[in-house]
Structure 1
Amino acid sequence: MAGYDEYAAVVRQLSARIREGERGAVAEAERRRTLHAGVTQLGQRLAAQEQRLAQLAAAAGLPAVADPALGPPAVPELAPGPGPAPGSVTGPGPGALPGSVTGPGGSGVDGDPAVVLAETGRLVDEVDRLGQQAEALAQRPTLLPTWSPTARAVAVYAGCAAVGALVMLVLVVANGIGVVDGVTLGALTCAGLPLISFVAGWLVLGRWGRPALATTDPPRYAPLGFFICALLVPIAYCVTLVVFRLVR
């Protein structure tokens, strides 16, 4: 009976190893499915990011030409766990499962594919975050980006009116020394300089008050701008006259 007992022990040991191997095969198959699903998801996200970048570049009027040396975004290829047969020079085929991860240009990166996949996912998340920040910034105009449209318009028209007032001051001095006659000074002060200041502000808002991704013209508040310029320049002229009279 000793031989039978030894035979039964061997059978039990073999059966235990078979069950262990089956459990390992199930776990490996599940790991492969998880890795393949992760690679597929990352590929879809990279494709969506590339499409969105192309749309943003087109909206901003920028060329959307990728560097040909870089090629398309690389998705990690899962290489088979066991290495190739001795003497074989053939690399891992597509869809094979991990022992190494193939990066851009065919360079191999050793390590756990799950770790590499997680790191790639983290980088893709970072790209999403930076892309959202860039898109938010592109929705702001270059000029006074944190200001409201109304405050920006008031600042621009007031600034242009201030420049017009300085020009008017030069004309007043020129009139005092006889270079500019009174009729010309009056016409420029009451109509010419306010109109020029208003047009300058309107053009500045259209050029630098427009977000890069805007599909329509930004609000320029023309009535408000005309009122500011038509009011400030004559007021500055009156103040200048009062100052000159007091000085004299």
Structure 2
Amino acid sequence: MADYDEYAAAVRQLSTRIREGGSGAAAEAERRRALSAGVDQLGQRLAAQEQRLDQLGAAAGLSPVVDAADRGPAADRAPGSGPASVAGRDIAATAGASAAGRDAAATVGASAAGRDAAATVGADGDADGDPAVALAQARRLVDEADRLGGRAEALARRPALLPTWSPTARAVAVYLGCAATGALAMLALVVANGSGLVDGVTLGALTCAGLPLISFVTGWLVLGRWGRPALAGADASRFAPLGFVICALLLPSTYCVVLLLVRFLG
């Protein structure tokens, strides 16, 4: 009877261990599936980042620093070909390059390398640490790369000249500055006319037509060169009618004011 009790206890213990082992195996399988799904999701996000950076680089007219031939072998590597820490370094390189903004196209290669390195955080685990921790770190880096990429894109859509101003205010400021410069040139011509160096016909022609046209063309060129965002397709209007009105009205008005002052003071 004692032998039977011992046998029954051993059977129960073995059954318990079998159930525990089955439960552990199921939990491990579920953990591996979760890790694999996380890696796939990161790979998709990095692929989307790479595609968007390609588009931004092409729109800004920038050529990638890393050629396709240089990043080709990285794209052909199978998952598990490197340690999970490589994912963090490559994704961080992508984030840093995105923050630079002006070299956004250069992050294409880093993004491709990061995508392949992220795949190394596979379901088989990481010999140097917990793969779940490495995957979480990679996800944080990808989130940071998204944030910096959005910031770089926003900066690339702002012109170098008065970037925080609205397009209309920027155009008004540029045309007013050019018209003011033309007004100073007109005052110099008035002084030269009083000294007999410039005749009245030349002064009138420059004041009514020459200087306004020169001021308008100068403002139009300045807005085209420094008032245009790096990304093509963004708002780069030069407000030509507004600029022409400003330059055509300000200079002759200034000339009339100068004539009145000279007459009253004289």
TM-score w.r.t. length of structure 2: 0.77
CA distance in 2, matches of 1:17, 1:235: 99
The amino acid across from 2:48 in the alignment is A
User: 121-130 or 22-31, which moves further after superposition?
Assistant: 121-130
Give the structure 1 partner of residue 209 of structure 2.
Answer: 191
The amino acid across from 2:118 in the alignment is V
Could you tell me which runs of 5 or more consecutive residues in structure 2 were left unpaired when the two chains were aligned.
Answer: 72-89, 91-108
Give the structure 2 partner of residue 238 of structure 1.
Answer: 256
How much does 1:187 deviate?
0.9
Give the structure 2 partner of residue 98 of structure 1.
Answer: 125
Change (3 A) 1:136 1:96: closer
Higher RCO (C-alpha 8 Å, min separation 6): 2
Give the structure 1 partner of residue 85 of structure 2.
Answer: none
Could you tell me which runs of 5 or more consecutive residues in structure 1 were left unpaired when the two chains were aligned.
Answer: 79-94, 101-109
How much does 1:114 deviate?
0.6
Find the residue that maps to 1:61 and give its secondary structure.
coil
The count of residues paired between Structure 1 and Structure 2 equals 223
The answer as to whether partners of 1:98 and 1:113 remain within 8 angstroms in 2 is yes
Give the structure 1 partner of residue 152 of structure 2.
Answer: 134
The answer as to whether partners of 1:206 and 1:217 remain within 8 angstroms in 2 is no
Find the residue that maps to 2:118 and give its secondary structure.
coil
Structure of greater Rg: 1
The amino acid across from 2:22 in the alignment is E
The answer as to whether partners of 1:58 and 1:64 remain within 8 angstroms in 2 is no
Change (3 A) 1:30 1:163: same
Find the residue that maps to 1:142 and give its secondary structure.
coil
- Residue identity over aligned pairs, in percent, reads 74
Pairwise CA RMSD = 2.1
Give the structure 2 partner of residue 31 of structure 1.
Answer: 31
More helix by share: 2
Give the structure 1 partner of residue 174 of structure 2.
Answer: 156
How much does 1:177 deviate?
2.2
User: 49-58 or 207-216, which moves further after superposition?
Assistant: 207-216
The amino acid across from 2:247 in the alignment is C
CA distance in 1, matches of 2:32, 2:234: 50
TM-score w.r.t. length of structure 1: 0.82
Give the structure 2 partner of residue 19 of structure 1.
Answer: 19
How much does 1:76 deviate?
4.5
Give the structure 1 partner of residue 184 of structure 2.
Answer: 166
The answer as to whether partners of 2:176 and 2:246 remain within 8 angstroms in 1 is yes
After superposition, residues 1-248 of structure 1 pair within 5 angstroms as 1-66=1-66, 68=70, 72-73=113-114, 74-78=117-121, 97-100=124-127, 110-215=128-233, 218-248=236-266
CA distance in 1, matches of 2:15, 2:24: 14
